[in-house]
Amino acid sequence: MSSPSQIELSLVIPTFNEEGNVQRLYSEILVVLKQLQISTYEVIFIDDGSSDHSLQRIEQLRAQDTNVHFLQFSRNFGHQHALKAGLDHARGAAVISLDADLQHPPALIADMVQLWRQGAEVVYTRRKDKQNVGLFKKLSAKAFYWLANRLSEVPIEEGTADFRLLDRKVVDAIKTFKESHLFLRGLIPTLGFKQVALDYEPAARFSGQSKYSLGKMFHFAINGITSSSAKPLYFSIYLGLFFAFLAFVYGCYAIYIAVFTNAAITGWTSLIASVLFIGGIQMILIGIVGIYLGKLFVQSKQRPTYIIKSETLTSTASHEA
């Protein structure tokens, strides 16, 4: 709408070592665009430092269709930053983000666009029947949402992923956020606008392996929680109070034993155990504070959150000054 190029739909696809998926994804997307009779579109692949032939595959597509674009990062910056870069550069009146591995079925794009045409400003998707997702992934996702929803002010609906349509107005709103630790899943529900959910069944990854190792997933969860909430800081106070109370009760008990009984205080073991225990708790609490402090530190440096090595689009955001 404000976009001078009048592109109706942008597709933003974070791509990290997805050489086996790029071609297939593109052809599936094209089928849907034809069906929707959308002729002004752009498909933006964000090559997040792939070490395989993903970029060559994307360039091959671009040779056939100039609506295909790419942003090549100088190294791997991570999925969330790739998404942000895509939003910063997309020019469409609506922008859909989806994974490159075909787990986010392109066929759903048709329903998303329909809802958008009926007035929805955010169409987010909820993963339903998870038979194609491994047990471990299922359990870890459950644990994440359980924890995130207890610890943060804004509930994040279970099963929501970074597969969504955003109206231009919402994209422009997100571009004004200068957070270096962006967590879109926690941010978008707080923005307001007319948000509509769409349920889907995830497909199996078409080719290649999941890029999320256990370590990365854990990092993602901690980052997600501490990006959208300061509640863990309060949690640390309560935990500290609770253990101080326990120590007080135990102290009373020790005095009682010493004064009113003649049972010798054999307490060396329990003393060491409790010192270690309290020490551990303190370490956790300092860690929680440290995470927030670290975020402030990174934010205060105002570094760019991603670096582009080569691209076929120019940014419309003030990201790179």
CA proximity to 224, closest of 149, 294, 169: 149
Other beta carbons within 10 angstroms of residue 132's beta carbon come to 13
Given 10, 16, 112, 124, the residue binding ligand UDP (CB under 6 A): 16
Strand partners, 11: 43, 96
Sole residue written with tokens 């370590």: 215
* Burial class of residue 160 in the structure, from the number of CB atoms within 10 Å of its CB (0-12 exposed, 13-18 middle, 19+ buried): middle
99 binds ligand UDP (CB under 6 A): yes
Rg (C-alpha) for the chain, rounded Å, is 24
Q: Which is nearer to Mg ion, 66 or 210 (CB)?
A: 210
305 binds ligand UDP (CB under 6 A): no
Given 20, 78, 186, 189, the residue binding ligand UDP (CB under 6 A): 78
Report the C-alpha dihedral over residues 121, 123, 124, 128, rounded to 10 degrees. Answer: 160
140 binds ligand UDP (CB under 6 A): no
Q: Which is nearer to ligand UDP, 53 or 211 (CB)?
A: 211
42 binds ligand UDP (CB under 6 A): no
The dihedrals phi and psi of 263, each to the nearest 5 degrees, come to: -70, 125
Given 10, 15, 97, 226, the residue binding ligand UDP (CB under 6 A): 15
57 binds ligand UDP (CB under 6 A): no
| Nearest approach, Cβ of residue 14 and Mg ion (Å) | 10
| Nearest approach, Cβ of residue 81 and ligand UDP (Å) | 8
48 binds ligand UDP (CB under 6 A): yes
The contact pattern for Mg ion, residues 89-108, with x = CB under 5 A and - = no contact, is: ----------x-x-x-----
68-73 and 9-15 beta bridge pairing: unpaired
11-19, 221-229, 279-287, 293-301 -> range binding ligand UDP (CB under 6 A): 11-19
CA distances from 52 to 69, 260, 284, 306 (A): 18, 74, 39, 20
CA 119 to mean position of chain CA atoms: 26
162 binds Mg ion (CB under 5 A): no
CA 153 to mean position of chain CA atoms: 17
12-20, 179-187, 234-242, 303-311 -> range binding ligand UDP (CB under 6 A): 12-20
- Binding partner of 220, given ligand UDP, Mg ion, none, CB within 5-8 angstroms per partner class: none
Other beta carbons within 10 angstroms of residue 120's beta carbon come to 21
> Interface residues with Mg ion (CB under 5 A)?
99, 101, 103
> Interface residues with ligand UDP (CB under 6 A)?
14-16, 18, 48, 76, 78-79, 82, 99-101, 103, 210-212
